[in-house]
């Protein structure tokens, strides 16, 4: 039982605590540094196998000579080791000497955890080292809730699950994370214990199944640009875990029993705002310039100090359909939306962020679809992306969310836009959650709750323009906070679905 399978001539031990498996290509210098880090961490407890290589092949050399990670090769490599903890090391990784101690200590402190993962650094020649946080919550079913490139997995858990599912070509790591989540907890190491080496502008093919920001070839909304085969694999793994957990939605959608027929106006457009005077006027104008007439615009101010109130009131002086509301709860988006819903008179409530825009047909098309589909509680359209001056950002493409259905909402990155709701359904569900999602993911949480009873309808037309201008609200929120709020929404939804299935009622 050799300690290393790479011919380094280490002495075997009878009790191996950690086995390291290097998965896929890496520059020789990165591999050598990782081997040195493992030695420094205590080589007598570490074995190394290189997936994608032939038995006895030296570690390092030309990374192109070693294939991208694949499930069969990794399974073979793990089977050749004996440690009670398997350290899976992804492609292009350089381990730091602290990695073994940090990950093993995390598992030792958390006996219910089946896997430890952690933050990392990205290194590109000529550029500053960039720290990247990882966030993977057990009940977060999104593929972007990722364990990243290095994981320490208890061998008992690995063997219980039978290792990686070799029917997956690329999404095997996502599928493994879904199955690990069904049997134990995850524990995060909140400091960098390794780095990945990348050439400027490079997105190695070997990264495709890791679902990190640098693994994506297109900026933003990466999940919308997956190739069809990869999307199919992710969807298969996702639906498999839903079925095993008893969380898949069964049965038809309910019909919306709306008591608001015949009201005037038909639509209430609710615009929460905070210091967005630069864009707010254009947002309001985009509604007024539309081809639908029976609406009102409710601008809910979260305490702006940039003249937003005066701007809105000037619109109201010219068109009484525009009303200004002050949110007494301060800068809280969920509270602002709830105030807008409470003051709304329309049958439908249509959201509009104060730095975004409608297109002329937005309300006409949204109302027509809701009127024609009695099981739809909300209509969600396509949208495009514009810059601060209103010019289209073609690199983002059209955001369609074609993968949406009532189940798949649990793994997607957002709720889509524009969202036009039945006002009675928002009341039925007690409004947006001001406690857990006061300033982020409140709309995603609401969409998940709606989907458990009604249909989330898709309008296959660009009816919304989302502006990216460098000062968006999301820019002021850290990645871990944002990922945590989305994960919380999914966790709550998953628990509701499981309870509902146990009670033998929809979903």
Please check whether residue 102 lies inside any domain of the structure.
yes
**Is 175 a member of any domain?**
yes
Tokens 């039982």 belong to residue: 1
The answer on 194 and 89 residing in a single domain is yes
Element (H, E) at 44: none
Do 328 and 371 fall into the same domain? yes
Query: Could you give the C-alpha distances from 338 to 271, 401, 429, in angstroms and in order?
Result: 11, 26, 11
> Does 277 map to a domain?
yes
Q: State the pLDDT at residue 49.
A: 58
Domain that holds residue 101: 18-245
Instruction: Please compute, for residue 458, the number of CA atoms within 13 A of its CA located in the half-sphere on the CB side.
Output: 11
Dig out the tokens for 266 from the structure. 């038909």
Clarify whether residues 32 and 108 are in a common domain.
yes
Distance, CA of 294 to CA of 144 (rounded, Å): 41
Is 2 domain-assigned? no
CB-based contact 323:342 (threshold 8 Å): no
Number of domains in the chain: 2
pLDDT of 221: 60
Among residues 213, 245, 277, which one ends one of the domains?
245
Q: Is residue 152 part of a domain?
A: yes
Name the token pair of 155.
Answer: 């061998």
Residue 50 in contact with residue 22, Cβ under 8 Å?
yes
Q: Which residues contact 460 (CB under 8 A, 6 or more apart)?
A: 381, 382, 400
**Does some domain include residue 124?**
yes
Virtual torsion, Cα 41, 47, 53, 56, nearest 10 deg:
110
SS (H, E, C) 363-420: HHHHHHHHHHCCCEEEEEEEEEEECCCCCECHHHCCECCCCCCCCHHHCCCCCCCCEE
The 10 Å Cβ neighbour count of residue 491 is 16
Computed over its alpha carbons, how large is the radius of gyration of the chain?
A: 26
Assess whether 307 and 205 both reside in one domain: no
* Alpha carbons 146 and 9: distance in angstroms, whole number: 35
Sheet strand arrangement including 348-351: 322-326, 295-301, 267-273, 348-351, 419-422, 376-386, 455-467, 357-358
**Strand bridging mode 295-301 / 322-326:** parallel
Residues 205 and 284 in one domain: no
- Do 318 and 406 sit in the same domain of this protein? yes
SS3 51: strand
- Asked if residue 292 and residue 233 are part of one domain, the reply reads no
Determine the pLDDT at residue 2.
35
Query: Are residues 285 and 335 both part of a single domain?
Result: yes
> Do residues 171 and 148 lie in contact, with contact meaning Cβ atoms separated by under 8 Å?
no
> Can you list the positions of beta strands (E) in 144-208?
150-154, 185-189, 194-197
pLDDT for res 6? 37
Whole-angstrom Cα distance, residue 4 to residue 334? 55
| pLDDT tens digits in sequence order for the chain, 507 residues long | 333 333 333 334 446 889 898 887 667 777 788 888 888 876 444 556 555 544 334 444 343 334 466 888 899 889 988 899 999 998 888 899 999 999 999 999 999 999 999 999 999 888 889 999 999 999 999 998 899 999 999 999 999 999 999 999 999 999 999 999 999 999 999 999 999 988 765 566 777 888 888 876 554 566 667 888 999 999 999 999 999 999 999 888 999 999 988 899 999 999 999 999 999 999 999 999 999 999 999 999 999 999 999 999 999 999 999 999 999 988 899 999 999 999 999 999 999 999 999 999 999 999 999 999 999 999 999 999 999 999 999 888 888 877 678 999 998 877 789 999 999 999 999 999 999 999 999 999 999 999 999 999 999 999 999 999 977 766 678 878 888 999 999 999 999 999 988 875 545
150-154/113-118 β-pairing:
antiparallel
| Domain membership flag for residue 129 | yes
Tell me the per-residue pLDDT of 345-373, one tens digit each, with 9 for 90 and over. 999 999 999 999 999 999 999 999 999 99
The answer to whether 143 and 171 are in contact (CB under 8 A) is yes
Q: How far apart are CA 34 and CA 43, in angstroms?
A: 12
**pTM over cut 0.85:** yes
460: exposed, middle or buried (C-beta count within 10 Å: 0-12, 13-18, 19+)? exposed
* 403 in Cβ contact with 235 (< 8 Å): yes
Token pair, residue 192, equals 């960098």
């Amino acid at each position: 039982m050799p300690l290393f399978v790479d011919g380094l001539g280490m002495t075997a031990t009878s009790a191996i605590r950690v086995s390291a498996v290097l998965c896929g290509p890496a520059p020789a210098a990165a591999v050598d540094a990782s081997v040195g880090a493992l030695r420094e961490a205590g080589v007598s407890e570490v074995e190394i196998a290189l997936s994608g290589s032939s038995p006895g092949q030296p570690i390092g050399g030309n990374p192109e000579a070693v294939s991208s990670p694949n499930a069969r090769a990794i399974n073979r490599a793990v089977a050749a080791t004996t440690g009670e903890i398997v350290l899976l090391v992804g492609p292009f990784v350089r381990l730091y000497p602290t990695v073994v101690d940090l990950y093993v200590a995390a598992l030792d402190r958390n006996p219910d955890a089946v896997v430890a993962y952690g933050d990392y650094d990205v290194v590109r020649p000529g550029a500053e080292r960039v720290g990247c946080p990882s966030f993977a919550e057990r009940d977060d079913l999104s593929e972007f809730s990722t364990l990243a490139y290095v994981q320490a997995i208890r061998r008992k858990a690995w063997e219980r699950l039978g290792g990686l599912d070799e029917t997956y070509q690329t999404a095997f790591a996502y599928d493994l994370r879904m199955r690990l989540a069904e049997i134990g907890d995850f524990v995060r190491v909140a400091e960098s214990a390794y780095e990945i080496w990348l050439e400027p502008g490079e997105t190695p093919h070997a990264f495709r199944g890791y679902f990190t920001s640098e693994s994506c070839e297109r900026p933003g909304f990466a999940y919308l640009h997956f190739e069809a085969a990869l999307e199919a694999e992710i969807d298969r793994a996702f639906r498999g875990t839903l079925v095993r957990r008893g969380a898949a939605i069964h049965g038809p959608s309910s019909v919306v029993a709306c008591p608001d027929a015949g009201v005037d106006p038909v639509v209430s457009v609710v615009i929460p705002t905070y210091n967005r005077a630069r864009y707010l006027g254009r947002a309001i104008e985009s509604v007024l310039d539309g081809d639908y007439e029976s609406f009102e615009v409710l601008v809910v101010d979260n305490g702006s100090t940039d003249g937003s109130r005066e701007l809105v009131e000037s619109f109201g002086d010219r068109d009484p359909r525009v009303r200004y509301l002050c949110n007494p709860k301060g800068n809280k988006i969920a509270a602002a939306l709830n105030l807008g819903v409470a003051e709304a008179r329309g049958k439908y409530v249509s959201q509009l962020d104060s730095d975004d825009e409608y297109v002329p047909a937005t309300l006409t098309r949204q109302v027509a679809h809701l009127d024609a589909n009695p099981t739809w509680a909300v209509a969600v359209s396509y949208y495009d992306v514009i810059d601060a001056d209103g010019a289209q950002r073609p690199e983002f493409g059209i955001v369609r969310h074609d993968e949406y259905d009532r189940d798949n909402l649990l793994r997607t990155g957002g709720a889509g836009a524009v969202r036009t709701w039945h006002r009675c359904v928002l009341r039925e569900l007690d409004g947006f959650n001001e406690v857990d999602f006061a300033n982020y993911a409140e709309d995603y949480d609401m969409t998940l709750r709606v989907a458990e009873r009604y249909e989330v309808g898709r309008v296959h037309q660009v009816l919304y323009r989302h502006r990216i201008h460098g000062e968006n609200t999301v820019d002021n929120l850290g990645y871990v906070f944002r990922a945590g709020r989305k994960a919380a929404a999914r966790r709550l939804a998953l628990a509701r679905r499981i309870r509902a299935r146990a009670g033998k009622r929809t979903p």
